[in-house]
Amino acid sequence: MTPFLVSDKWYDLRDLGNLSSAILEAADRVLPFGVVYVLAALIGFVASFLLFVLPSQLIVGVYGERRIIGRMQSRLGPNRVGPFGLLQPIADAIKLIQKEALTPTQADRAVMYIAPIVFVMPAVLLWAVIPFGERMVIADIPVGLMYFLAVSALPVIATFMAGWSSNNKYSLFGAMRIVAMAISYESPLVLALLGAVVMAGTISLSGMVGWADQFDIWMVFVQPLAFVIYFICVSAELNRTPVDIAEAESEIVAGYLTEYSGMKWGLFYGMDIGYALAASGFAVTVFLGGWTFFGLEQWVPGWLIFIAKTHLFYFLFIWTRGTLPRLRADQLMAFAWKFLLPLGVFNLLVVTTERMLWSEQDYAKGLIYIFALVNIVLSVVLVYAWARFNGYRPERTPTRPRLVKQAGGYIPVGEWP
């Protein structure tokens, strides 16, 4: 093969599958039958952890997020521990390890101890079906999207366990809010992903990457409304600002984490970043072409493209966290049921109609670009029209501060015109 393409050499880092294949083939010749399958899973986990999760957790998830949000809010962020504050995550980890993990006397100790463990496990399992590159997926199952949705629902159980077992009313309130958000936002989330599934004709994550590569277009252009709905819904399910009502300090202290301290709290905090990265990787796979980039993957390793896209999507989480105010609980619930859910249903109706028309034209490649243009325009019109129907009136928004008298507030007796 040419030197610019992915070669068959094990040492070519543009395809890490070559290296792992060489190791597994050598191990299969000396190890008992069946052991190589366990070794393959371990290699995949270690490689993904060292190349993706660990750098993301230390640099992007902690240091990068805090520094970027600091700049957005006109402050410095970490800048004392190590050069440019780069060692701040290590200092935080040492601090959490040294802290005493307190447990309330009336708490359910067993459940309270198990909850952080149950919260961590799905964060690892999610990466099993996400393809990092060509032939770089631990479990390339045909129902990868369904697997991801099923496993991503497990943390809700862990957070409810944490809130209920703490024997604290604020913790229980936070846990119930998590459950309410999961139920409310799972419906429009599934509808949004169903639109992408109908258009791609597969629920395999590798198949969705192949679809984007085959038609030279990302799903985000064909399903822009589904992409927006996915981002909002996954932000709510991840309990990310501005929809982190389960940890609203002004209302319920720290929600389900109120009674947690030390490294038990650190597991919840660290895996929050892990779940956000997994959701970013999933969005990149479904909506942004995965590890492909219109042929660039022939010269640049696909797994590097995937990592770059994932961190760019993660920046959206950072951006919203640093700039938007927190919503109230009633606003968040109403937004899911009254706004996102109807939009998701209408989007599914549109995409099924387009899929039917597309199949009648033998899936002509040019027609998908027409659908993309129509859907972009239709999404903007639909969002604005539905917002107006629900009472959105931008013309009533004041352009400058108003006095109390002008706003119709308190007016002393005798001064009413």
Closest C-alpha among 204, 149, 154 to residue 179? 154
Cβ 329 vs Cβ 242: under 8 Å? no
Is residue 60's pLDDT more than 90? no
- Distance between CA atoms of residues 402 and 266, nearest Å: 45
Residue 4: pLDDT band with limits 50, 70, 90 = very low
What's the pLDDT at 301?
Answer: 80
The 8 Å CB, 24+ separation contacts for 319-326 are: 319/72, 320/235, 320/240, 320/241, 320/242, 321/65, 321/69, 321/240, 321/241, 321/242, 322/68, 322/69, 322/72, 322/73, 323/72, 324/241, 324/242, 325/242, 326/241, 326/242, 326/243, 326/244, 326/245, 326/248
Q: Supply the DSSP string of 286-311, one letter for each residue.
A: HHS-TT--TTGGGTS-HHHHHHHHHH
Exposure of 355 in the CB half-sphere (CA atoms within 13 A) = 16
Is residue 10's pLDDT more than 60? no
- Distance between CA atoms of residues 157 and 162, nearest Å: 9
- Distance between CA atoms of residues 21 and 10, nearest Å: 8
Crossing angle between the packed helical segments 341-360 and 169-200, to the nearest 10 degrees: 20
Q: What is the mean pLDDT of the chain?
A: 80
SS3 391: coil
- Distance between CA atoms of residues 314 and 376, nearest Å: 23
Cβ 166 vs Cβ 259: under 8 Å? yes
Residue 375: pLDDT band with limits 50, 70, 90 = very high
What's the pLDDT at 144?
Answer: 87
Is residue 351's pLDDT more than 80? yes
Q: Which two tokens stand for residue 167?
A: 């024997």
State percent of the chain over pLDDT 70.
84
Residue 183: Cβ within 10 Å count: 12
The amino acid occupying position 46 is: V
Of 112-116, 150-154, 316-320, the one with minimum mean pLDDT is 112-116
- Distance between CA atoms of residues 39 and 323, nearest Å: 45
DSSP state of 326: P
Residue 278: pLDDT band with limits 50, 70, 90 = confident
Residue 384: Cβ within 10 Å count: 12
Q: Supply the DSSP string of 72-113, one letter for each residue.
A: HTTS--S-SSSGGGTTHHHHHHHHHHHS-----TTS-HHHHH
What's the pLDDT at 138?
Answer: 79
- Distance between CA atoms of residues 382 and 199, nearest Å: 20
Residue 303: pLDDT band with limits 50, 70, 90 = confident
For residue 226, report the phi and psi dihedrals to the nearest 5 degrees.
-65, -35
- Distance between CA atoms of residues 130 and 124, nearest Å: 11
Buried b (16+ CB within 10 A) or exposed e, 233-255: bbbbbbbbbebbbbbbeeebbbb
**Of 166 and 201, the one with more pLDDT:** 201
Q: Which residue has the tokens 């240091």?
A: 63
- Mark out the alpha helices in 126-204 (DSSP H runs): 144-152, 154-165, 169-200
Cβ 192 vs Cβ 350: under 8 Å? no
Cβ 278 vs Cβ 126: under 8 Å? yes
Of the ranges 123-132, 244-253, 296-305, 351-360, which is most confident? 351-360
Q: What is the mean pLDDT of residues 364-383?
A: 90
What's the pLDDT at 3?
Answer: 42
